[in-house]
Amino acid sequence: MATLDKSSLQLPKENLEAEDFLPLLGTDYVELYVGNAKQAAHYYMSAWGFQPLAYAGLETGLKDRVSYVIAQDKIRLVLTSPLNSGGDINRHIDAHGDGVKAIALWVDDATKSYQETTSRGADSYFEPKKEEDENGVAVFSGIHTYGETVHIFVERGNYKGVFLPGFKAWNPHYKPTDVGLKYIDHMVGNVGWNEMNKWCEFYAKVMGFAQLVSFDDKDISTEYTALMSKVMSNGNGRIKFPINEPAEGRKKSQIEEYIDFYNGAGVQHMALATDNIIETVTKLRDRGIEFLTVPSSYYETVLDRVGEIDEDLAPLKELGILIDRDEEGYLLQIFTKPILDRPTMFIEIIQRKGAKSFGKGNFKALFEAIEREQEARGTL
């Protein structure tokens, strides 16, 4: 059953006040290193409804890389590719395939954010630096997190340009309509065997996050495979990072498959929020996005489990949208198949109707769907 201890969903007040040495205003952007940023931008625009926002490359004075910035409501993606052979971006793509390099966090003070986190043990990615152009000044700093993933603190209070210094507005003729995606609900990291607690402690100690919920292998196991997961959240709840590790099962955990193909820890999925999941998923499916499906028997009993919902069941069943409930409400969610050649990253679409949890009641049905895909790949 999808019941969570309500107390575990709330951050203790004293903890909140004592630990908020790192106030985060939200996710600023997510940067992916990809093999071909121009074509990736076209995919995220045409299939996912992102809009062109900004560009940096040879025309703006960069010599070694190109970045396209695309946006949908509060979500900003930066797609970066190298322009020459060799170098760190090529090495990253060779090791991991396309994937998330940076989860950038919007802060009031990037220098203080750097000091607070590095003094608590974070490894520096780069020291605070100022960048400016005719539209103002922004300050950045960066720290390492799991695998080769980094957090970049972005202070943009004195910047008025379209994205950040060094980028020019990108305004092509092609602007496909959006699909109703609003903001990043959570971003999930996969880490190696027995590393979940280490990284949860990192978010607690170094970044002042608190643990919202945890799931062990009894919650998240099927007949064959298992994983463990804990959800870490910052003080104001705007940033939520579930961390998964593989657990022993009769066959290979989906987390292990990820780690094998990504060559280490990294971002497993981004959950993007919508106000109308039926509309959003209908559009995405029409534009070629492939979702995991659950057996139609899921819908025979789901309302017994979650009670009454506002939506008709028929379109949810037709699209394969999953439903779960906690003490505060319910949620609707669906997961894509991996969106890259390697079976690594995928995207979740989520609509929250009061629920603050993550769909625990769906885990079993979902993971059985993933195992059917693994089976087809020969990686179960």
For Fe ion, the binding residues (CB under 5 A) are 271, 348
Contacts of 354 (CB under 8 A, 6+ apart): 328, 329, 330
3-state secondary structure of 343: coil
Strands 181-190 vs 210-215: parallel, antiparallel or unpaired: unpaired
For residue 185, the minimal CB distance to Fe ion (Å) is 8
Residue 54 or 345: the one with the smaller Cβ distance to Fe ion is 345
Q: Which residues contact 76 (CB under 8 A, 6 or more apart)?
A: 28, 29, 30, 53, 69, 70, 163
The alpha-helical segments, DSSP class H, found in the chain are: 13-19, 37-46, 87-96, 110-119, 196-205, 254-262, 277-286, 298-306, 313-319, 363-377
Q: How many residues does the chain have?
A: 380
Find the shortest distance in angstroms from Cβ 333 to Fe ion.
7
For Fe ion, the closer CB: 141 or 253 = 253
Shortest Å, Cβ 350 to Fe ion: 7
Dihedral (CA of 223, 224, 227, 228) sign: positive
Nearer to Fe ion, 147 or 242 (CB): 242
CB of 296 to Fe ion, least distance (A): 23
Q: Among residues 155 and 348, whose Cβ is nearest to Fe ion?
A: 348
Minimum CB separation from Fe ion for residue 242, in Å? Answer: 6
Count CB atoms within 10 A of the CB of residue 378: 6
Nearest to Fe ion of 115, 293 (CB atom): 293
Residue whose structure tokens are 């121009």: 38
Instruction: Choose between 190 and 222: whose C-beta lies nearer to Fe ion.
Output: 190
Q: How far is the CB of 151 from Fe ion (least distance, A)?
A: 19
